[in-house]
Amino acid sequence: MAENKRQGSVKASTQKQAGNAAGPGMAAATVPLEAALSGAIGARVRITTAQPNQSILEGTLFTACPITNLVAINTAPPANPGDAKQAQNGDYHVIPISRIHNFQLLALAVPSGSNSSSFTDAQPTIQALDTRALKMRESKAIGEAFDREARRGKGVTREAQDLFDAFSRTMPARWNGHNIIVADAVTIAAPYRVDDCRPIVEGDTAALARVRKVLEMERKKIELRNASATIGSTSTFSRHPGDQRKGG
């Protein structure tokens, strides 16, 4: 409870001290600290932090973030005003706004021209984004995602998907429900055997023979993989009973 009261009094004191956000010869005006800080980005300021460990920081206000409630001040000496190409060195300090006890505006931000913006003059420099290239990357990524989804069979077995993927590596293939359409010439119905192949155009025996040959070869590969997996699991299982008998 005492801690809450102390924090509340610090915040109230901070709001009052925001009235010091005025430069020499300027009339002081009481404004919320967050608003004063946001309007002073790029200006020379003096910030005094609250107790304990009170400190005074003087430099260029780099940023004031209303989301994280943090400010960053660059205490390095300002660049030579006569050298437009010289950038200010960096010696940054990040301070929670709740820790600020006193804030004073020492000098306004140096204007950089009516047509320039804070992004143009930011240090370090901020490069312009190539929005055209980003849009192209976005379109490509979306197209690839749709293509992957189109290649994924809906409600089909793992074996059917493996067969589809095998055809896709060598010739155009697409799904039509549960049927695989190869090169827009042959359709393969479940359960995707050689006898389940039908030409889309009656009499297209060349396309039918080619698809049947590829399908037969791919099914043999799947059978070999399944047989190897079965032998491996059986061998692993048979070793355990033998080991137990030997130990007994």
Specify whether 158 is located in the same domain as 93. Answer: no
Instruction: Please report the pLDDT score of residue 216 as a whole number.
Output: 92
pLDDT at residue 178 tops 60: yes
What percentage of the chain carries pLDDT values higher than 70? Answer: 69
Note the pTM of the prediction, 2 decimals: 0.41
Residues 33-68: tens digit of each pLDDT: 777 788 888 889 999 999 888 899 999 998 888 888
Q: Of the ranges 84-98, 121-135, 146-160, 197-211, which one carries the lowest mean pLDDT score?
A: 121-135
**Residue 81, domain member (yes or no):** yes
Specify whether 100 is located in the same domain as 136. Answer: no
**Residue 122, domain member (yes or no):** no
Inter-residue contact 215 to 160 (CB < 8 Å): no
**Residue 176, domain member (yes or no):** yes
174 sits in which H/E element: strand 173-176
Instruction: Please report the pLDDT score of residue 115 as a whole number.
Output: 45
Inter-residue contact 61 to 45 (CB < 8 Å): yes
Residues 184-241: tens digit of each pLDDT: 999 999 999 999 999 999 888 999 999 999 999 999 988 888 887 777 666 655 555 5
Question: For position 43, which CATH number holds?
Answer: 2.30.30.100
**Residue 118, domain member (yes or no):** no
What percentage of the chain carries pLDDT values higher than 90? Answer: 36
Residue 34, classified by CB atoms within 10 Å of its CB into exposed (0-12), middle (13-18) or buried (19+), is: middle
Instruction: Please report the pLDDT score of residue 163 as a whole number.
Output: 93
Does residue 13 or residue 195 have the better pLDDT?
195
Averaged pLDDT score across all residues of the chain: 77
| Rg for the chain, CA atoms, rounded | 36
**Residue 243, domain member (yes or no):** no
**Residue 203, domain member (yes or no):** yes
102 sits in which H/E element: strand 100-107
Give the separation between CA 134 and CA 153, rounded to whole angstroms: 31
**Residue 123, domain member (yes or no):** no
Specify whether 153 is located in the same domain as 192. Answer: yes
Name the most confidently modeled range: 37-46, 98-107, 179-188. 179-188
Please state the rounded mean pLDDT for residues 75-95.
Answer: 72
Please state the rounded mean pLDDT for residues 119-130.
Answer: 63
List alpha helices for 86-204, DSSP H. 131-150, 158-168
Give the separation between CA 192 and CA 216, rounded to whole angstroms: 10
How many Cα atoms within 13 Å fall on the side-chain side of residue 64? 19
Specify whether 163 is located in the same domain as 216. Answer: yes
- Helix 205-247 and helix 158-168, axial crossing angle in degrees, nearest 10: 130
Number of domains in the chain: 2
Specify whether 91 is located in the same domain as 164. Answer: no
Residue with tokens 């009481």: 30
**Residue 50, domain member (yes or no):** yes
Domain ranges, residue 81: 2-107
Specify whether 225 is located in the same domain as 136. Answer: yes
Residue with tokens 């706004």: 97
